[in-house]
Amino acid sequence: MAYLTKAVLAVAFAAFATSASAQPVMPGAGGGGGQAAPAPAPAPGGSPGGSPGGLIATMNPQQLAQILNGLTIDNKPINMTVKTFDDKTGGVIIPFWGDQLYSGVLPIQCQPDGTGCKTLQFFANFGKQSSVDMNWMNSWNDYYLGVKVSVMDNGEMLFEYDLPLFSGVSADYIRNCTVFFKAVVDTAFTYKPGQKGG
């Protein structure tokens, strides 16, 4: 019985304890954890994998860069680079928030050779955020549909949004999801747990 009483008190204390529920802040310059700058995007080539009706069901980083080429967000053209990682996977690095925050889109669920990727994973690595706690992240994840926040094993806060391509999507849909991801993550700078209306 004493154990149960202590457990109830511990839960009550955790529920009412003052928590760090501040918004995330822009990490220091580099934001990518000291990673080298990605190489410039190659010239567009090839076309994404199709499905019936001309929809895109698979792609690779180069094809994604081709689709996003010329996209503007907040009335500014996006800058992007295609990066190949040590494990031979790749992605399109897009500094949505400048060089201070490592962000972009990773084609995932690919064939062993890196082609035929069936999902796009949008990401923004906010680095370590001492002003944000689990209450803030849980509230965010409960409130926002699609774009989720988590803490990686190294303690860095990561926003992610997965776009499945399985049944096929249009190039416009991919561009719209890119704009959507940035717009939703932009609200993190002012989001407060329990607020109404985003």
**Mean pLDDT along residues 135-152:** 94
Give the confidence band of 49 by pLDDT, cuts at 50, 70, 90.
low
At 179-188, the pLDDT tens digits run 999 999 999 9
Residue 47 lies in a domain: yes
Query: What pLDDT was estimated at residue 184?
Result: 95
Total count of domains within the chain: 1
Span 25-46, average pLDDT: 44
Q: Is the pLDDT of residue 70 over 90?
A: yes
Confidence of residue 92 (pLDDT cuts 50, 70, 90): very high
Other C-beta atoms lying within 10 Å of the C-beta of residue 193: 15
What 3-state DSSP class applies to 103?
strand
Domain that holds residue 134: 2-189
Domain membership of residue 65 (yes or no) is yes
* Residue 16 forms part of a structural domain: yes
Buried b / exposed e over 163-174, threshold 16 CB at 10 Å, is: bebeebbebebb
> What count of Cα atoms within 13 Å lies in the side-chain half-sphere of residue 39?
9
Is 37 inside a domain boundary?
A: yes
Domain assignment present for 194: no
Residue 196 resides in a domain: no
Q: Which helix (H) or strand (E) holds 154?
A: none
pTM exceeds cut of 0.85: no
Question: Quick check: is 58 in a domain?
Answer: yes
